[in-house]
Amino acid sequence: MTKVLDVLTGNPVAKAVGKQLGVPQATELRRGRTLPTGDVVLAVLEGSGATGNATREALKSLRVSPVEAVRDVPAARTTGEDGRAVPPAYSTKIGALVLDATAVATVAELEGVRAVLRPALRALGASGRVIVVGTAPELTDDPEAAAAQQALEGITRSVGKELRKGATANLVLVSTETTGAALASTLSFLLEGRSAYVSGQPWRVLGAEPGVVPADPAAPFAGRVVVVTGAARGIGAGIAEVFARDGASLVVVDIPAAGEALTKVANRLGGTALQLDITSPDAGAKIAAHVAARHGKDARIHAIIHNAGITRDKLLVNTDEDRWGSVLEVNLAAEIRINEVLLDPLVAGGLAEGGRIVGVASTSGVAGNRGQTNYAASKAGVIGLVRAEAPLVADRGITVNAVAPGFIETEMTDKIPFATREFARRFNSLSQGGKPVDVAETIAYLAAPDSGAVTGQVIRVCGQSQIGA
């Protein structure tokens, strides 16, 4: 029974049956540092706002040579045999559309968005990308301009739900200060397969400084210490694997009970293991001491990834203080205390200037979830922590962000009751669950040395879940 829906999407005959039954059909997603197959199309809309220079500069720095967009305007339409107007079309499938709409300042100018999207969506290939670049509405003084820019979010989220075959749509909001260099890491992530399970999300890239551009794009964390908590298995081990792949000097952390599994992860990835209860009052000091002892007294942490977490699910009416408090302590309070220690510039082995803090929230913290009031509280708290802490450390070049995973395929999710699991797995725009690597790739992007213009953000890695996203 547990594989019924998988069977219904597994071969052509079964797929046809599944389709008749209304079972969403999953497409194998493009992952890794691979660019889309087919041309990258660039459209820069005219208007009274920005010029699109940052977008052009970012694509140029990524060595992407875009082609001109096809636009559905009356003059470009032909007449079919039935007498109906036929919109213009691309001659081949395209890999991605980058639409710079920063200049849109009126409701009427939104027509340009439709004119570009209509032919592009028809031509978009499998695992294609739609990236809309807009101006952050809160930075716009004119009410109509703010309304028009906010409309871009509704357009992008809706497009994401219309796309098929593993294609995604995302919105990147910039400011007049955003440079091409600052925008480049975000456009690179969204174009590549690293963003496979991220869709329908708004991103804010508001700073001018990108941070440090790595000498080797394939090893952006070379010579940099990265600490990952809850790294013995599941998503945490997946996070550690991606950082090791990208050249990081790893410190993996987990509870003593998971010591054997943790050691295996550390040995396999060439890192060091720290067995630690992160809820202990001296957890932050022990992490810093470990870094100084293993990597040198002058070593500093480039990034700490707060992945450790627990669930103790019950309806609230059946939740006592122990079940409530343990989840909040592990998932939220421990992170606050550890950050406080590592952010002290006088602590040996603490966080470096220009360092990165990345928390792991959850879509449960966004939308809530039945039987998870304690868990949802803790993950919503992580979101609040990110938003509050980011501006406090911005002058040190430190960024604070979080990811909010949706349904990610792990050993833990295999234990979820069948009906609940399959609903969560399929009820998103990509019609499938994500993989630990999807969370890991998003975290690595946020932690990248050249992602310094992205802070205070919570990115949902949920395939654009139909609930809360």
Using a 10 angstrom Cβ sphere, with 0-12 exposed, 13-18 middle and 19 or more buried, the burial of residue 2 is exposed
Catalytic residue among 90, 197, 375, 445: 375
Q: Where are the domains of the chain?
A: 31-205, 225-461
Q: Name residues whose C-beta falls within 8 Å of residue 47's C-beta, 6 or more positions apart in sequence.
A: 103, 104, 105, 106, 109, 112
445 as an active site residue: the answer is: no
Query: Residue 397: helix, strand or coil by DSSP?
Result: coil
Q: Answer left, alpha or beta for residue 318, where phi above 0 means left and psi between -120 and 50 means alpha.
A: alpha
Q: What is the pLDDT of residue 52?
A: 78
The highest-level CATH class for domain 31-205 is: alpha beta
Amino acid at site 234: G
Q: How far apart are CA 282 and CA 306, in angstroms?
A: 16
Q: What is the mean pLDDT of each run of 10 residues along the chain (469 residues)?
A: 44 51 74 94 82 90 95 93 91 97 96 98 97 96 96 97 96 95 97 97 92 92 98 96 98 97 97 97 98 95 96 89 93 97 97 98 88 92 97 97 91 68 79 94 98 96 76
CA 304 from chain center: how many Å?
17
CATH number, domain 225-461: 3.40.50.720
Q: Do domains 31-205 and 225-461 have the same CATH topology?
A: yes
Query: Please, what is the end-to-end C-alpha distance for the chain in angstroms?
Result: 29
Q: What is the pLDDT of residue 8?
A: 45
| Tokens describing residue 250 | 């790893």
pTM: 0.92
Among 6, 42, 443, smallest CA distance to 242 is for: 443
Beta-strand pair 249-254/168-174 = unpaired
3-state helix, strand, coil in the chain (%, to 5): 40, 20, 40
| Tokens describing residue 316 | 């609230």
Among 238, 465, 258, 253, smallest CA distance to 362 is for: 465
Among 132, 131, 112, smallest CA distance to 47 is for: 112
